[in-house]
Amino acid sequence: MAAIEIRNLTKSFGSHLALRDVDLAVAEGEFLTLVGPNGAGKTTLIRILATLSRPTSGEVWVDGWNLADGAAEVRQRIGFISHQPLLYGDLTAEENLRFYSQMYGVPDPASRIEEVLEQVGLLARRRDAVARLSRPRRPRALRRALSSGPACS
């Protein structure tokens, strides 16, 4: 089985069909680039693979786990860094890290968050809303917090 395998994936939002019968296989070690015009379904596909959205129909397998039955296991095996950091601006740096640590099952999250905030120079600003941090500092903290996961760095 491929590292990522998608069979007959469909996603609709009401009457709008975002993805229709997508089949895709990506072997371990391969890279995949999604290109296409706005509205082609690129973000929808990524959101499904990242377990942030559920498909309307079809099957998605990541590292041998079916998304329908093993979303938590899939989240522990993936890393995703976007050009747009997926942080909540109204939450503090610490709150964002706590949320994602719980979502990804980071062991001993309190200690890990403390360690990471110190490593990236945000310990003194741990209670500042992420929206108040400089743009380059935002994703660094999240990437480092999740670096205990197999695919994150």
Domain ranges of the chain: 4-75, 93-145
Among 10-14, 97-101, 124-128, name the most confident range. Answer: 10-14
In degrees, to the nearest 5, what angle opens at C-alpha 98 toward C-alphas 72 and 150? 45
Unique residue bearing structure tokens 């009457």: 15
Taking only the tens place, the pLDDT of each residue in 122-134 is: 889 889 888 887 7
141, burial (CB in 10 Å: exposed 0-12, middle 13-18, buried 19+): buried
Q: Would you state the pLDDT for residue 135?
A: 64
Q: In what order do the strands lie in the sheet with 4-13?
A: 16-26, 4-13, 57-62, 65-66
Q: 36 and 85 in contact (C-beta within 8 Å)?
A: no
Whether pLDDT at 6 is above 60: yes
Pick the residue with more confidence: 12 or 51?
12
Unique residue bearing structure tokens 């993805």: 19
Q: Would you state the pLDDT for residue 102?
A: 83
**Architecture in CATH for domain 4-75:** 3-Layer(aba) Sandwich (3.40)
